[in-house]
Chain A
Amino acid sequence: MLTPEFIQARILEALPDAYVRVRDTTGGGDHFEAFVASPSFAGKGMVQQHQAVYAPLRPWLQTGELHALQLRTTPSIPETPPWQP
């Protein structure tokens, strides 16, 4: 069972400049939703942006501990967060 804080920490290790929000969508510790904004996404396609977020989470995606991660990525940090944690 994973936590939003754990997912967030793994993403931040890979993308230190990112603004990251993660929430558990079911309460089960395996379905999450993440919003990731990082200047490093500028000029990159959506596939590359999502790959950059998936990369540090691969070990848990592979074992199925992380079953689903809904992702929204953008290069610019929003004035208002997409949701409250």
Chain B
Amino acid sequence: MAALTPELKARFDAETSQHRVVLYMKGNKLFPRCGFSAYALAALQAAGADVHTVDVLAEPDVREAIKEYSGWPTLPQAFIGGQLVGGSDIVRDLAQSGELQKLVKGGG
């Protein structure tokens, strides 16, 4: 059975369009439970993002469904402006090149 129900798809559509920066991660802002999630969150915040986080460990349904939704097989997953940006490696590369700040600010 597909993990991505219509209800979850509608939720992800809403979540990623209502918040400029969304991070599906293991743990939350106070207690990231994975080094990669912690890194991605810190890099996004350092780039000036007001990050909306979703803890996939607290919501097991979301953990598999978000992978189907995005076509991205690992966590964390960052969305900016409704688009999948990638996981912690891409966030790192974008932060190092200065692109991340521009993406977070938007406009353009």
Query: Which A residues have a C-beta under 8 Å from some C-beta of B?
Result: 46-47, 50-51, 54, 57-58, 61-62, 68-72
Q: Is the CB of B36 within 8 A of A50?
A: no
What is the CA–CA distance of A68 and B37 in the complex, to the nearest angstrom? 11
Chain B residues proximal to chain A, CB less than 8 Å = 36, 71-74, 84-90, 93-94
With CB as the reference atom, state the residue of chain B lying closest to A70. Answer: B89
* Nearest-CB residue, chain A, relative to B35: A68
Name, among B88, B89, B93, the residue most crowded by chain A CB atoms within 10 Å (CB to CB): B89
A29 CB → nearest B CB, Å: 17
Q: Can you give 11 contacting A-B residue pairs, CB < 8 Å?
A: A46-B94, A47-B72, A47-B86, A47-B90, A50-B90, A51-B72, A54-B73, A54-B74, A57-B73, A61-B74, A70-B89
B90 touches A46 (CB 8 A): yes
- Mostly, the A contact residues are helix
Q: How far is the CB of A20 from chain B (nearest CB, A)?
A: 15
Q: When chains A and B are docked, how far (Å) is the Cα of A47 from the Cα of B86?
A: 6
A57 to B85, CA, bound (A): 20
Option from B36, B73, B86, B94 in Cβ contact (under 8 Å) with A58? B73
Question: Which chain A residues lie closer than 8 Å to B87 at the CB level?
Answer: 50, 71
CB distance from A62 to the nearest CB of B (A): 7
Q: How far is the CA of A62 from the CA of B89 in the complex (A)?
A: 19
Contacts of A70 in B (CB 8 A): 36, 88-89
